[in-house]
Structure 1
């Protein structure tokens, strides 16, 4: 029950009139509760009448005792001033990227992001809240791709925009653009030590993968043509001018009669040497320095590792060769796999058969 002093304070207001004039439903309900208390009803009786709890009615009365009618206004939820405003979401995305770029190494953690939100955006989140926010804003945990320290983003963008001019510059005069197919070429080393990648396991487990310490290795030389959905691969013991020459002859043999292959490749020494054979149906086009991300063959290697070659070890060179051949054949024989993975819109020359 209320004290006489509390009842006396309630008598100063017409809560029935205030409730009728109040547009806010929550505040109106609180006025009705105080009107019942003003009539001498207990917290329990008022709670039963309004279908709420005795604790809630008592809390409303305390608000009134402390702040008067002002205390009955809608209270901000405990987190309402602790959430990132929607108009700041894009600035937050940019801040996350800048925070990662500023690090000399490693990666930013959830706790780093929590501190960023508090210091730069003046909002407070739990760690779980941080991860929910990242998910909602489309920021995902993803493996980084390699980038050479000598890469020139401006030169790369210019190469992509002007690939037609680049092709014209290297083509023999007698070859028309409508005869050209773009191929991408690269090599991947596979050794006895192998590579480790993520794999499925029980939560809380830490899977162990055997890794040898020997150094036998082989190289997969691969070339892909997305437009023709075809590829040419060789497994060779070294990556040098001689083995590169073998691969160029294999690519040349795979080019259809009447077509000409422009082979886009990086600037490894055995790709740019003048000692390579000159083949009539094949022209080499080097990428800008340090531009491995422009070569879709890199994604082929990732597919081969993920599907077949990672998380395993090899007893001998012959076993490495067999594994490489099996992995390459299994992937390249999937209909449409090369076209799907290796198509690049910037590598489309914009010409069709029959055009001069």
Structure 2
């Protein structure tokens, strides 16, 4: 065993204990107490145990104390290595990811880590590992998510104007209502449910590839659904076809679920069976049509995703009757969760003052 490193003697054991008592740093205090024990003649092993360390660690702190005194017993934290990309370069990278790749110049339709690795090396002269590029993206606030579909003919300005002007639109449609009439905002849509069913994500063991049944038959039904997010309720029917007759039945069903004395504003898309003059719209419902090619304005689209993800996907339906039963069962489970309807369906632009 090498000889013990001599400890400087310009501090007495008493002085070190006084400094340990005055210190607000616990680590410095215990190191000072260990060194005070050494000055008192205690063995280095026993002195190390006083400070909760081993003999070699105590030897290191003796070296630091001899060089810098009590201040050297403080932890010397560092800020880590200097980032290889400056803050300006990180901002430029974030803007690049936000903008997305140029198909002609970059040759891809979406950024992958390997693509950004090459871009960073070319622009900034820094060669990161592909995995670290993912770490950089997370630091910049990005995550790897699925994009939402958008109709190529969608008019973004029209959608923005519809949301901005919705209070005025609502007032114009309800001008003939008596004052103080309670107004409910409803959203309506329909979904095809059938044997050609979907498969959704599920938890499974890492490295495994779970299998789910996928039917190749085409029997289907339609679920007409409408929700009132503010009340956390809805109304639906399951029918074999999506047509004017089915829409009339659904309007009647919605009418029965509107609160007594209230008036429902029904927001829906411009499908032919929604806009036909053959419909007899109940007196307690006023339809307002959403802009064309704008399904994201209708939260019932998200309701369909929720029903499929939780109760309808990963299944095989042998008969049409099973499809109807599954659709009705899924809707009833949704209606039993009013807070879920409210959470999915509330839209700030639509749920303005609801009393005329």
- Measure, in 1, the Cα distance between the counterparts of 2:304 and 2:108: 25
Q: 1:234 to 1:120 in 2, by over 3 A?
A: farther
The superposition leaves residues 99-155 of structure 1 with CA deviations (integer Å, 9 ceiling, x where unpaired) of 257589864322112122223444321111011112222211222222112211111
Kindly indicate whether residue 246 of structure 2 is the aligned counterpart of residue 243 of structure 1. yes
The superposition leaves residues 41-79 of structure 1 with CA deviations (integer Å, 9 ceiling, x where unpaired) of xxxxxxxxx97xxxxxxxxxxxxxxxxxxxxxxxxx9x8
Scaled by the length of structure 1, the TM-score of the pair is 0.72
- Measure, in 2, the Cα distance between the counterparts of 1:223 and 1:177: 24
Contact between 2:181 and 2:263, CA under 8 Å: does it hold in 1?
no
- Measure, in 2, the Cα distance between the counterparts of 1:206 and 1:117: 34
Q: State the Cα distance separating 1:249 from its structure 2 match.
A: 0.6
The equivalent residue for 1:66 is: none
The equivalent residue for 1:97 is: 98
Kindly indicate whether residue 193 of structure 2 is the aligned counterpart of residue 190 of structure 1. yes
Q: State the Cα distance separating 1:93 from its structure 2 match.
A: 2.5
SS at match of 1:288: coil
- Aligned residues between the structures: 277
SS at match of 1:339: helix
Kindly indicate whether residue 285 of structure 2 is the aligned counterpart of residue 282 of structure 1. yes
- Measure, in 2, the Cα distance between the counterparts of 1:101 and 1:151: 21
- Measure, in 2, the Cα distance between the counterparts of 1:230 and 1:90: 45
Q: State the Cα distance separating 1:92 from its structure 2 match.
A: 2.1
Q: 1:350 to 1:102 in 2, by over 3 A?
A: farther
Q: CA RMSD in A?
A: 2.3
Q: State the Cα distance separating 1:351 from its structure 2 match.
A: 4.7
The superposition leaves residues 223-275 of structure 1 with CA deviations (integer Å, 9 ceiling, x where unpaired) of 11111111111111111111111111100111112111110011111111111
Q: 1:240 to 1:88 in 2, by over 3 A?
A: farther
Structure 2 residues not aligned, in runs of 5+: 1-58, 61-79
Return the match for 2:143 from 140, 151, 162. Answer: 140
- Measure, in 1, the Cα distance between the counterparts of 2:308 and 2:87: 41
Deviation above 6 Å: which 4+ runs of structure 1? none
The equivalent residue for 1:65 is: none
Contact between 2:226 and 2:234, CA under 8 Å: does it hold in 1?
yes
The equivalent residue for 1:294 is: 297
Scaled by the length of structure 2, the TM-score of the pair is 0.72
- Measure, in 2, the Cα distance between the counterparts of 1:113 and 1:238: 48
- Measure, in 2, the Cα distance between the counterparts of 1:187 and 1:337: 19
The equivalent residue for 2:168 is: 165
Kindly indicate whether residue 214 of structure 2 is the aligned counterpart of residue 200 of structure 1. no
Q: 1:113 to 1:195 in 2, by over 3 A?
A: same
Structure 1 residues not aligned, in runs of 5+: 1-49, 52-76
